[in-house]
Structure 1
């Protein structure tokens, strides 16, 4: 599996997370109960999978390889800025969730920042998917192989991805997620 294919596979998991986030903020806006532990799990997946693993793969390996190629430098810069924007939204979710858990009524800001994060993901992933189509053509096969080997050699990260995908599976079984409205 090439590095680009690994990143695309990550995107499939992230799109599942995006759907979970949408269902979560919709339930919160309807004043339905979503356990704090489930919202914490969502933020943990954002932090540990999306940021620490997926974005790290892109920022530390993929982007440096494709950035100098062709006209990709400007795209890479935009993606780096968008990653930072996503991190700032995630911090706000965690901040307001903490306030809500401590007794303040912060349901609405949690829902609002979850909604903002879902919108960010939808936009960001669609642009990155198009970018991957073009970047894959520009990458030297040896570079693709080297990055792929690097991604797969990081066994701890690969094992953590498997664990976090199981967390996504678990969230998809929750009543608030499965409820039809």
Structure 2
């Protein structure tokens, strides 16, 4: 396996999350009752998997390695800006969910920001997948790919956390509001 393929594997799971987030936003907009605990799970997956693990792999290892060749720097900068945009939207979801849990009517902003996040994920993943193709084909050596992959897999706690987050995605996909 390679670092690029590991990031693509992350994207498969993030794509599943994107579908959950979009469905959740639509269900909320249509007045469906979705347990606040499920909404909390979504925010946790966004924070702990998408941002803390996946984006960190890209920002701390993959992007710097690609950029070290003076290659694809404009694209990398755009991705960093997009990651920050995603973090800002995620903070808004969390903020309004907290308000909702405190008894305020925050259904609409939670729904709106969830939909915004789903749209962001769709667009972002499409662009990053094309970037990965280019970086893999034209920039990174097999040795660099292997070294980064080994680095990703060497932190057992992260590997375990990814497995836990995938279980949470499985759980959400099996909820009645998602299956409708």
Q: Which moved more, 1:99-108 or 1:63-72?
A: 63-72
User: 1 CA distance for matches of 2:8 and 2:146?
Assistant: 15
Question: Structure 1: 5+ residue runs without aligned partners?
Answer: none
User: 2 CA distance for matches of 1:31 and 1:4?
Assistant: 40
TM-score (norm 1): 0.97
User: 2 CA distance for matches of 1:71 and 1:55?
Assistant: 19
User: 2 CA distance for matches of 1:40 and 1:107?
Assistant: 13
User: 1 CA distance for matches of 2:97 and 2:110?
Assistant: 6
User: 1 CA distance for matches of 2:17 and 2:157?
Assistant: 21
Aligned to 1:143: 144
Aligned to 1:64: 64
Q: SS in structure 2 opposite 1:57?
A: helix
Number of positions where the alignment pairs a residue of Structure 1 with one of Structure 2:
179
User: 2 CA distance for matches of 1:122 and 1:67?
Assistant: 24
User: 2 CA distance for matches of 1:147 and 1:68?
Assistant: 14
Aligned to 2:6: 6
User: 1 CA distance for matches of 2:158 and 2:135?
Assistant: 24
TM-score (norm 2): 0.98
User: 1 CA distance for matches of 2:7 and 2:20?
Assistant: 20
Q: Which moved more, 1:27-36 or 1:67-76?
A: 67-76
Aligned to 1:175: 176
User: 1 CA distance for matches of 2:167 and 2:155?
Assistant: 19
TM-superposed CA distance for 1:70, in Å, is 5.0
TM-superposed CA distance for 1:71, in Å, is 3.5
TM-superposed CA distance for 1:140, in Å, is 1.4
Aligned CA-pair RMSD: 0.7
Question: Structure 2: 5+ residue runs without aligned partners?
Answer: none
